[in-house]
Amino acid sequence: MTDDTIPTNLAAAWGLRARPGKGPKPGLTLDGIVAAGVKVATNEGLAAVSMGRVASELGAATMSLYRYVTAKQELLDLMVDAAIGPAPEPVDGEGWRAGLVRFARDHLALLRSVPWVIRVPIAGPPLTPNQISWMNYGLTVLRDTGLEEYEKLSAIMTLAGLVRNWALLTADMTASATAAGTTPDEAIQTYGRLLTRLVDPARFPAVGELIKSGILNLPPGDPDEDFEFGLDRLLDGIEALIERRAADPTCAARQVR
């Protein structure tokens, strides 16, 4: 038997938790606390967020926050949901592929606008209102593709993983280059030169062929070119599955239990 009690963070996110009860009229609100946490994370980084720091931002006592949030993790969950906001509305008449491209690019731009969000560990599948909004957006885009519901969900989760990984990777590379007093483009060029000096083609023949091609010596192009390449390949795979479903709707269909 499973426990389906709604966790306090989700109850708060969905507005299902009772407001603080007896006592003097509270001077704080849950929305205000979450907004203060987002402000601290945005201006000072996720590491700066603590119950005490958020309380200080509000000019309140730390313990007063616990009337609204039971722990820091609950606050972080609510902050993430507030920061990502609701998904954009699907465009009428837009094909599934164009819709998923927009989904991916919008999501990447969002994560880059609030980079601290990708530093919050993912504790489980999406359950907060704005996370569900993005899920609904993706499912809507794939509605008429003929895919099974579990395939639509898997496609969206895989796409979201690609976006999150690229946002995290590029953020880390940018931070590392900045700390070294250089730029990401310069760091990539340095990488190519070091690889050429260090790699023995006899020991690593495939890497030797890569070096010999000269691709590593080309000037840096669009920093998101690799992201777009991966996105296209992922969408090619989804397209192949859609075509296979159209040819044989019963092919590998999962039975609902």
Residue ranges of domains in the chain: 8-84, 96-247
- What pLDDT was estimated at residue 4? 72
Q: How far apart are alpha carbons 49 and 129 in whole angstroms?
A: 22
Write out the chain's pLDDT in tens, 257 residues: 355 788 887 888 888 876 555 554 457 899 999 999 999 999 999 999 999 999 999 999 999 999 899 889 999 999 999 999 999 988 888 999 999 999 999 999 999 999 999 999 887 888 899 999 999 999 999 999 999 999 999 999 999 999 999 999 999 999 999 999 998 888 888 888 999 999 999 999 999 999 999 888 877 778 899 999 999 999 999 999 999 988 887 765 554 44
Kindly report the CATH number that applies to the domain delimited by 96-247.
1.10.357.10
CATH match for 8-84 among 3.40.109.10, 3.30.70.100, 1.10.150.80, 1.10.10.60: 1.10.10.60
Q: 26 is written with which tokens?
A: 């509270």
Judged by DSSP in three states, 93 sits in coil
What's the length of the chain?
A: 257
Among candidates 216, 125, 113, 107, which has minimal Cα distance to 171?
113
Cβ-contact 139, 152 below 8 angstroms: yes
- What pLDDT was estimated at residue 189? 87
- What pLDDT was estimated at residue 124? 81
- What pLDDT was estimated at residue 18? 61
Cβ-contact 81, 129 below 8 angstroms: yes
